[in-house]
Chain A
Amino acid sequence: MTRSTFRKILGDIWARKGRTALVAISIFIGVLGAVTLITAGDLLVRQLESDIQEDDLPMMQVFMTIPPSEDGVVPDDAALVEDVRDRFEGVTAVEGEANNPFFWRFSGEQRFREARLLSYTNPLGEQVLEPMRLVEGAYPAPGQQQLAVEQRMAEDFDLSVGDTIELRLLGQVTEGELPPVETWTLSGIVFHPYNDFSKLSMYAAAEDAPDITGIPGLTTLGLRFTEFELARGDKLGVQDWITDDTPYMAVFFMAEDPADNSLVRTTEQFAQILTALAVVAMLVSGFLVLNVVNNLVVEQRRQIGVMKSLGATRSEIGVIYAGIAVVYGLLGMVPGVLVGIPLGYQMAVIVGDFANTLIDSFAVSPLAIGLGVVLGLAVPIGSSIIPVYTGTRVTILEAMTDLGIAGNYRFGLLNRLITVLPLPLNIKQSLNSISQKKARLALTVTTLTLAVAAFMGVSAVFVRLNDVLNDILSAFEYQIIFTTTESQDYDTVRDLIASNVAGVAEIAPGSMAVLDLEGYVAPLSETSQIMVQGIDTTQGYEDVPISEGRAWLDDPTRSGIVLTNEITNQIEKHVGDTVTVRVGGKSLDVEIIGIMNYPFPVGIMPWRELAEFTGYTKGAPVPNRYFTALALDGYTGTLPDGQITAWGIDAQAAAFMPLDAGEGLQTGEPGVLLTQAAAENGDYAVGDMLTFSGADGPVTVPVVGIFAPPAQLAEAPVPPDLAVFFWEDLARLEGLSLTGEAVPNAFFILADQVDPSARDIDTLIEEINTTLVDRGITASYTNMVEIADQASQAILSIGIVLNVASGIMAAVGAIGLITTLSISVFERQKEIGVMRSVGARSPTIIVQFLVEGVLVGLVAWVIAVPLSYLLAWGLTEILPFGDFIEFEYPVVMLPLGLIGILVIATVSSIWPSVSAARKTVSDILRYQ
């Protein structure tokens, strides 16, 4: 490049400072957006990939609880872990986790705060799955009243190693007294990237945790196998084994391939979306540059001819205009990169909350910087290629004989149509100007269309997200769900709360369970499991917001299930159809009585029906542990009043009974076994008919076997003389329910405060908890308002990012229109001069250019509408929660987009229009 060429480039840049500024701003905005968005995405993904190691992830997680039937049982978790390793093939690692709520406060505070306490089957710091990292201090030692705190919670609450806090010891509750409060010390700060509750988590030794939370046992069992296929779909039957052979009941199961971690994948997808949006923003900038360089080349057509006559080749002239494009790029790219780096970091920190990761030190994304530099230069240069190529093709003769706009006026059909329209002259001139410069119109419309389409599409997704959020927030009215550690009678709990806690409008019993729904595949877990909530349909406090069907509106006692549209759409079922649900080997056919709009796979049933089906009952006899006393006609034995101890067993136990005589109990046939002692006491033999007193009168059954009790039974605290039945027969004899009475495993609270905040609900939870704990009832609480706030926050975070991207594109589009109109004003100065000289006033000229801008905007809007629909659909598909959101294009976007483009077009047109109107005749002559 020669010196004069370089000076021409700088001279042209400087001569049209306004246009240069506009283009540079556009590129700056594009590069800023690109660097910011790509930095945020890149930092997040890199942090997650650093934090989350594939080899540390479980392949299967079983969420479990101790059912009411096992109340008081303290499971041997160490043995459970060993058992799992031995029993299931391919197991390479097992880790049990207890994650339960607890209450703490700073010394001197009145109010307790709820947080999560985590402990593991392996000592802290030695987890084999999802390990944590000690940041400062030491892991808590058992029995030393020590806890560790997660780094993010420590930052939020300004906690340090050595600080002391007060804990409520819920494991030492006695009825009538408040649980004791003890002072514990924070021994260490840990960073636990796998913890979704990191902002509210502390850690204790496994030996200490039950004393603090009052809840024994584990809540989750994590397993890793030699290959993921063993975990997929729980082929090995881990859940069933847990439910059948351990004190636990498996509630929920998740299998995830560590090589395809959903959090990393989701964040990568999000980062890809950010990158795509950033690139689109840059491309829109590119169109603007193309437009400007094209206009520049057209403007300087004569100069190009002169330069050719002076000996410049086409490529030498091309270098000049490409150089101008490079300078545009540099002017926008350099500040864009410099500002984008810290902005991107800040965005990563903000969005990092959503991704449950911590970006605590300033970091730079080389990828973002590289892309920003490349895009900032490549886009302007690339955009200038075509206009420079076509513009420099002009010959010296063509360039020197070009007479400008007036000389190119053609009488095409469109122009003739415009001529006959009954419009003011200045409006007709606007229309003619638009119709004449078709290439420029196409470029400008393309730029604006892309910008408007992107803006409308992104805004449509954001509006839809908010609609979904409203669906979520309005679906359930209650603000608190709590589950008691041991099963509690509903009436007791209700009366306790109602008489001691102000601010509660309703308390309803409920049930929560995870069921398999036949034919359904959940997007996240790829299983057929759905969460089902059991509500009190008779109480009427909760109107389930259904969109189809009547649910319990007409008959609160009817049986059935309400499913969300996410489920029914997938399995293609409607109101009136029957679905089959399963849990623990049992199945139930249930009618769909309603469909509700809700983005997650959820079902709603009457709570008693759900509790009975899932076995959350109390009072049902437990096979093999069922002992009772029955009156036997004419018998005298250990028990007084002619009674004998009866034992209910299941078929499996019956098959192993060591019989001395008889065939034993047969399924489906009445019969009783007697121990030798009982047979001797009554002088009974096999075949004798014995008459027992049942709840519905005497029942006569034959003796089908006599046996000597095995050693374990002989050592048990039961009399030697026993009558043994199948447990179902014994229960019927006594008039007991085989399933027991349904017990709520959840309570739903509706506050009487209108629109309470999360903090209001926290206060209410504290009061309820104090009341219940005072009576020896411990529970874990869920603040639904806080969850709704968190969901809102997550959606808002995404919405902010999307709106930033769409705002960038709208700004670039507006700049494009300003630039084009200002060029149009520049080109048509002679025309303006002539108009002025014949008496046209400023408003006339302003209107002419305003109309031109608005018309271009309208054309762009018409084309942008279908494009924005496609973009909204695409974004919805690829967003992290796209599986749960049914695509809808909010119709409101059409008028909103139209208003938006009219505002943009009007605002963008004002400056060039006023600038045109300001030009005087002498200004224009001077141009000559």
Chain B
Amino acid sequence: MSAPFVRVHDLSKTYGNPHQPLEVLRGVDLAIDPGEFIAIIGPSGIGKTTLLNMITAIDNPTGGEVFVGDTNVTRTPQNRLTKWRARNIGIVFQFFQLLPTISVVDNVIFPMDFARVHAPTERRSIALDLLDRLGILDQAEKTPDMLSGGQQQRAAIARALANHPPLIIGDEPTANLDRMSAQNVFDVFRDLAEQGAAVVVTTYDREIVRTVPTVYELHDGMLSLIRRDGSAVKERAGVAR
């Protein structure tokens, strides 16, 4: 068994002032293997995004540590995490967050130009290939406002895959999509996991996660494993595998 690619150990996050603290995460432990497709569910505002922000090093925890690959992201300075993040994590946002004034293909090329993983002469062809894989090659030269919601999210996924990151994070990636589009997106994530990427998505939609092999629930600041590899399970919150 390979070592987990993502390791979260005793993670906690508290907001607010000392008189009225709000503990969003309490001693969360999590391990994600390469090729694993994980969904974290919970109602809006429960802290799912906060957890993802800790993993992606967008935010700093109050306690605990997070390892992504060999990197302790909680102890690495932000300025060194910028390029590291570009090469190791692909983020898919709830509202797509495509840059509105450039074309879809340029949106996909954008992170390549910053990460410099691919040679400049290869970037465009890689981007078009990604768009083709996601079924929106014909939208490549259009600007995002000309695409449907589902197409925009596919473009966002293509962008997230641009540098072939080992970890893909989706924060409520289907919240603004219709049922069919949402299912399509989850199918894409599954395919990516089968290709070896670790994929973590958050959602409030319990219907859509039925097709996700491993599901955690975030509740009261703690993480509970609901299903692993397709089999339902209920373990004590915060216990690592």
Binding site for B on A (CB under 8 A): 2-5, 7-8, 11-12, 14-15, 302-303, 306-313, 316, 395-397, 400, 926
In the assembled complex, B205 has its CB within 8 A of some CB on chain A:
no
In the bound complex, how far is the Cα of B100 from the Cα of A309, in angstroms? 16
- Would B101 and A310 count as touching, CB distance under 8 A? no
**Would you give 26 A-B contacts (Cβ < 8 Å), ordered by A?**
A2-B114, A3-B109, A4-B102, A4-B109, A8-B99, A8-B106, A11-B102, A11-B143, A14-B101, A15-B100, A303-B97, A303-B99, A306-B93, A306-B97, A307-B114, A310-B91, A310-B111, A311-B114, A312-B82, A312-B114, A313-B79, A313-B82, A313-B83, A316-B114, A396-B58, A400-B93
Residue on A nearest B82 in the bound complex, by CB: A313
Tell me the interface secondary structure of chain B in the complex: helix
Residue from A3, A309, A312, A395 having most chain B Cβ neighbours under 10 A: A309
Interfacial chain A residues near B112, Cβ < 8 Å: 4
Given contacts A311-B82, A311-B86, A397-B53, A306 and B58 within 8 Å (CB-CB): no
> Which of B85, B103, B145 contacts A311, CB < 8 Å?
B85
Q: Are B102 and A8 in contact (CB under 8 A)?
A: yes
Which residues on the A side are within 8 Å of B101 (C-beta)? Answer: 8, 11-12, 14-15
Check B102–A310 contact: CB distance below 8 A: no
Known: A8-B102, A302-B97, A400-B58. A310 touches B110 (CB 8 A): yes
Lowest 5 CB-CB distances: which A-B pairs, in order?
A311-B86, A11-B101, A2-B113, A311-B114, A310-B111
Q: Is the CB of B58 within 8 A of A311?
A: no
Instruction: Among A14, A307, A309, A316, point to the contact of B58 (Cβ < 8 A).
Output: A309
Q: Given A4-B112, A303-B97, A395-B78, 15 more contacts at CB 8 Å?
A: A3-B106, A5-B113, A7-B103, A14-B101, A307-B99, A307-B114, A309-B85, A310-B111, A310-B114, A311-B83, A311-B85, A311-B163, A312-B82, A313-B114, A397-B59
Interfacial chain A residues near B58, Cβ < 8 Å: 309, 395-397, 400
Instruction: Tell me which residues from 93 to 138 in chain B have a Cβ below 8 Å from any Cβ of chain A.
Output: 93, 97, 99-103, 106, 109-115, 120
A306 to B91, CA, bound (A): 9
Q: How many A-B residue pairs have CB under 8 A?
A: 76
Is B159 part of the binding interface, using a Cβ–Cβ cutoff of 8 Å? yes
**Interface presence of B7 (CB below 8 A):** no
Smallest beta-carbon distance A389→chain B, Å: 15
Is B87's beta carbon under 8 Å from chain A?
yes
Cα A3 to Cα B107 in complex, Å, equals: 11
Q: Chain B: residues with CB nearer than 8 A to chain A? A: 53, 56, 58-59, 78-79, 82-83, 85-87, 91, 93, 97, 99-103, 106, 109-115, 120, 143, 145, 159, 163
Contact yes or no, B106 A308, CB < 8 A: no
User: Across the interface, do A7 and B82 meet the contact criterion of CB distance under 8 Å?
Assistant: no
CA of A806 to CA of B120 in the docked complex: distance in angstroms? Answer: 50
Residue of A8, A14, A302, A395 with highest tally of chain B CB at under 10 A: A8
Closest to A317 in B: B114
Q: A308-B82, A309-B91, A311-B82 are in contact. Are A3 and B102 (CB under 8 A)?
A: no
B82 engages A4 (CB within 8 Å): no
Measured between alpha carbons, how far is A3 from B111 in the docked complex, in Å? Answer: 12
Instruction: Considering the complex, give the chain B residue whose CB is closest to the CB of A316.
Output: B114
Which residues on B sit within 8 Å (CB–CB) of A7? 102-103, 106
**Is the pair A309, B56 in contact by a Cβ cutoff of 8 Å?**
yes
| B163: min CB distance to chain A, Å | 8
A2 cross-chain contacts in B, Cβ below 8 A: 113-114, 120
Residues of A within 8 A of B59 (CB): 397
Q: How far is the CB of A626 from chain B (nearest CB, A)?
A: 101
Bound state CA distance, A303 and B120, in angstroms? Answer: 23
Chain B hits for A8, CB < 8 A: 99, 101-102, 106, 110
Q: How far is the CB of A328 from chain B (nearest CB, A)?
A: 15
Of all chain B residues, which has the CB nearest A1?
A: B113
Residues of B within 8 A of A309 (CB): 56, 58, 85, 91
For the complex, what is the distance from the CA of A515 to the CA of B163, rounded to whole Å?
A: 91
Between B85, B93, B101, B143, the greatest number of chain A beta carbons within 10 A of the residue's beta carbon is seen for B101
Across the interface, do A307 and B110 meet the contact criterion of CB distance under 8 Å? yes
